[in-house]
Amino acid sequence: MQQPISITSNGTWQVPDYPSVACIKGDGIGSDIWPNARIVLDAAVNAVFGEEKKIDWVPVPAGAASFKETGHWLPDQTLETIRNLKVAIKGPLATPVGKGIRSLNVRLRKELDLYACIRPVKYYPPVPSPVKHPEKVDMVVFRENTEDVYAGMEWEAGTPECRQLMHMLKTRLNCNLPESSALGLKPMSPENTRRLVKKACEYALENNRKSVTLMHKGNIMKFTEGGFRKWGYEAAFDCFGDRMITEDVLYARYEGVVPDGHVVVRDRIADMVFADVLLKPDQYDIIACPNLNGDYISDALAAQVGGLGMAPGANIGDACAVFEATHGTAPDIAGKDAANPCSLMLSGAMMLDHLGWHAAGDAVRRAVGRALAGGQVTSDLADQIPGAKAVSCSGFSRIVMENLFVTA
């Protein structure tokens, strides 16, 4: 019998011992990585809790496989099941390019109001990296998920809607634009910015992180990205008061050393952040940013620690959470038992944390780290690590499970 997670009136999540969690296998390599991630997650829960806790997996359709079976890329029933169960995990989903079908990932985020895209980025040796000191990268990106240029307010050049908006811009707002332009809007609001930054600050305080950096392009876009900066500072200090400190206070009062139980809130221009995370990554901790900036920086940081195959991710709102592999469907190796399952395994570890089962989440992360260090890895990594041996997706998963029980 399904045991849905519940949420109290004050926003507290109540997780039963046998919670039902929706799962989407995904397209392409989803059929390879999901079954292997699932057995690792089940083994981790069992290793830590025995029979006291167990996840009841509830498969739901989405993506190309769903379209073939039901005629719908993302059935309404799938969304309703996730709403009811509160938590889901998914493999990569395919969305046809240029066919008028909106990204399924974007639709999931919008329909379920999953306003915070959370991506921890941390290095696992000996994964190959293009930078000298990938071990200095240990950041968590909080990306606003519902606004910015991803809001879907876009019109093709030459359409009646585009011409109508063009006419208004020219006649009422004195904008000088080529008639051939396509148009899109970039909405950003104080309420959606504040809830994102609040969640980033909560995470920083709960996990003993020292700084939250607001990443923006407010020097150019004064009222959207500049608004993000302004509203972000307001949220931090309105919600957490004197537990937040500015950089000015940090150096004037604390000689640059963050006092225990406090978090520094600061802001940086987006292009400066891209340079800094390469040159001095250890100076960044939590990065909170608008949608487009977050898309860019999270993928760039993932490249510094070995690529998207190593990058976990979650989309979290107040009523639902969906954990996901952050890479694509890789159809060229689908069904060959060759894909790297680390992204989905590590996303599953985030899911276990979200359930309050932190010991099981930590067990997954440790086991993945030990498996990688052992030198038997999937071919995408083995080709780049001297002396490494290539193993299958399922073979690597078995190695991870063996390492769940290593205590040293």
Alpha-carbon distance of 344 to 219, in angstroms, equals 37
Prior bond to 126 cis, omega within 30? Answer: yes
The residues that bridge with 313 in the sheet, in sequence order, are 324
Prior bond to 92 cis, omega within 30? Answer: no
Percentage of residues in the chain having pLDDT higher than 70: 97
Please write the tens of the pLDDT for every residue from 115-135.
999 999 999 999 999 999 999
Binding site for D-threo-isocitrate, by residue number, is 103, 105, 109, 119, 143
Binding site for NADP(+), by residue number, is 340
Q: Is-catalytic flag, 42? A: no
What is the DSSP-derived secondary structure letter of residue 27?
Answer: S
The confidence score (pLDDT) of residue 69 equals 86
Q: Is-catalytic flag, 76? A: no
User: Torsion angle, CA of 115/117/118/124, rounded to 10 degrees?
Assistant: 170
The confidence score (pLDDT) of residue 68 equals 87
Set 32, 295, 337, 380: catalytic member: 295
Classify burial at 261, counting beta carbons within 10 Å of its beta carbon; exposed 0-12, middle 13-18, buried 19 or more: exposed
Structure tokens at 325: 């592999």
- Would you kindly state where each structural domain of the chain is located, as residue ranges? 1-120+313-407, 129-146+187-305, 149-185
The confidence score (pLDDT) of residue 156 equals 94
Set 115, 150, 203, 284: catalytic member: 150
Q: Is residue 97 predicted with pLDDT exceeding 80?
A: no
Taking residues 16-34, report their average pLDDT: 96
Binding site for Mg(2+), by residue number, is 295
Binding site, by residue number, is 103, 105, 109, 119, 143, 295, 340
Phi then psi for 326, rounded to 5 degrees? -90, -5
Please write the tens of the pLDDT for every residue from 240-257.
999 999 999 999 999 999
Phi then psi for 341, rounded to 5 degrees? -90, 5
Set 25, 199, 217, 230: catalytic member: 217
Q: Is-catalytic flag, 203? A: no
Phi then psi for 52, rounded to 5 degrees? -70, -30
Set 238, 271, 282, 383: catalytic member: 271
The confidence score (pLDDT) of residue 273 equals 97
Domains 1-120+313-407 and 129-146+187-305 share a fold: yes
The confidence score (pLDDT) of residue 405 equals 83
The length of the chain, given as a count of residues: 408
Give the gyration radius of the chain's Cα atoms.
22
The domain defined by 1-120+313-407 folds into Isopropylmalate Dehydrogenase (3.40.718)
Q: Is-catalytic flag, 53? A: no
Write the single-letter amino acid at 227. Answer: G
Q: Domain 129-146+187-305, CATH 3.40.640.10 — does that match?
A: no
Strands 376-377 and 389-390: parallel
Q: Is residue 408 predicted with pLDDT exceeding 60?
A: no
Torsion 348-350-351-352 (CA) sign: positive
Q: Is residue 98 predicted with pLDDT exceeding 80?
A: no
What is the DSSP-derived secondary structure letter of residue 105?
Answer: H
The confidence score (pLDDT) of residue 1 equals 63
Q: Is residue 261 predicted with pLDDT exceeding 70?
A: yes
